[in-house]
Amino acid sequence: MIYARIAGTGSFLPGEPVTNDDLVARGIETSDQWIVDRTGIRTRYLAPPEMASSDLAREASVRAIEAAGLAPDDIDLIIVATSTPDCIFPSTAALLQSKLGIRNGAAAFDVQAVCSGFVYGLTIAEKFIRSGSHKRALVVGAEVFSRILDWSDRGTCVLFGDGAGAVVLEASDTPGVLAGALHADGSHHPILCVPGNVAAGQVVGDPFLRMDGQAVFKFAVKVLGDVALEVLGQAGLGADAVDWLIPHQANVRIIQATAKRIGVPMEKVITTVDRHGNTSAASIPLALDLAVRDGRIRPGQRLVVEGVGGGFTWGAVLLQF
């Protein structure tokens, strides 16, 4: 039996943290207290203009490949989850492959599932590995959400940040990924979207992120609770079997309500939204890498990683680290 297990993690945040007061100083009509009370966010990182998602992805990937004890050419599958690709095409994954100097013909493609993208990517990579077709997948979440924010809309621009996280998923005799579930319901697309596109050399429609915050909040809590219980049910385990819950980092109140619904105490929840803001597809691998490197997550522990994002999409993976 071939299983898939995480062999290494890495992450990258660009520049220095930008505080809520820094945003006020930049002219945004908000306050540290409002942002902290409603979201738990204190700082976020914003990439400089010359830095694209593939650059953030490269830094995170180098660290993950090194942590796995591998060389870049050992990777035979590259999946990048992003909603802020470098360009329309080629994929950010192909550009990442080039920036990593991988010349072995590894397959490379992007996944577009917004904030659930990393969970989608991890699940896809696991299927490739379990089929026997691939041995070592690099799965990356990388975003420069600061580029698609309307900085005059205080209801959204204070929430997001830039960053990247990566894992190497490797074929193994021992599990690994224990259970997983992916879902989508496209009928909810209007409550969180960037509706514009590019045609005939012009931006057509609105190129900024738009959101009905309260509708997103309610939807996120419901599906994050449901899908975590679904994957635990697949494995025949209860909430007490979870060593760490790593939910998508959008808002600390969503995270608290989700943990309560699942029955996992907050001491077992990895939270980075206070420092990173919402980095969309990067948020889960960033949080995972942070907790691996600070020694909280240890080999053999059971983790639930779960995401929800525009589409709407949602999903979870239960894994043994």
Name the residues annotated as catalytic. 115, 248, 278
Please report how close the Cβ of residue 308 comes to ligand ACO at its closest, in angstroms: 5
Among candidate residues 47, 313, 42, 257, the one with its CA nearest the CA of residue 159: 42
Cβ nearer to ligand ACO, comparing 109 with 217: 217
Per CB under 6 A, 34 contacts ligand ACO:
yes
Cβ nearer to ligand ACO, comparing 187 with 214: 214
What stretches of 235-282 show up as alpha helix (H) in DSSP? 252-262, 273-276
Instruction: Give the number of C-alpha atoms closer than 13 A to the C-alpha of residue 255, restricted to the C-beta side.
Output: 29
Per CB under 6 A, 43 contacts ligand ACO:
no
State both tokens at 205. Answer: 């429609």
- Count of residues near ligand ACO by CB under 6 A: 23
Cβ nearer to ligand ACO, comparing 227 with 308: 308
DSSP letter for 187, please: G
How do 162-172 and 177-184 pair as beta strands? unpaired
Of positions 13, 57, 80, 115, contacts ligand ACO by CB under 6 A: 115
Residues near 164 by beta carbon (within 8 Å), at least 6 away in sequence: 11, 12, 53, 56, 57, 59, 60, 61, 140, 141, 142, 143, 282, 285, 286
Per CB under 6 A, 286 contacts ligand ACO:
no
Per CB under 6 A, 284 contacts ligand ACO:
no
Please report how close the Cβ of residue 168 comes to ligand ACO at its closest, in angstroms: 25
Distance, in Å, from the CA atom of 81 to the CA atom of 91, rounded to the nearest integer, reads: 10
Per CB under 6 A, 17 contacts ligand ACO:
no
User: Segment near ligand ACO (CB under 6 A), from 32-40, 172-180, 237-245, 256-264?
Assistant: 32-40
Per CB under 6 A, 109 contacts ligand ACO:
no
81 within 8 A of 281, measured Cβ to Cβ: yes
Interface with ligand ACO by CB under 6 A: which residues?
A: 30, 34-35, 38-39, 115, 154-155, 158-159, 192, 211, 213-214, 216-217, 220, 248, 250-251, 278, 308-309
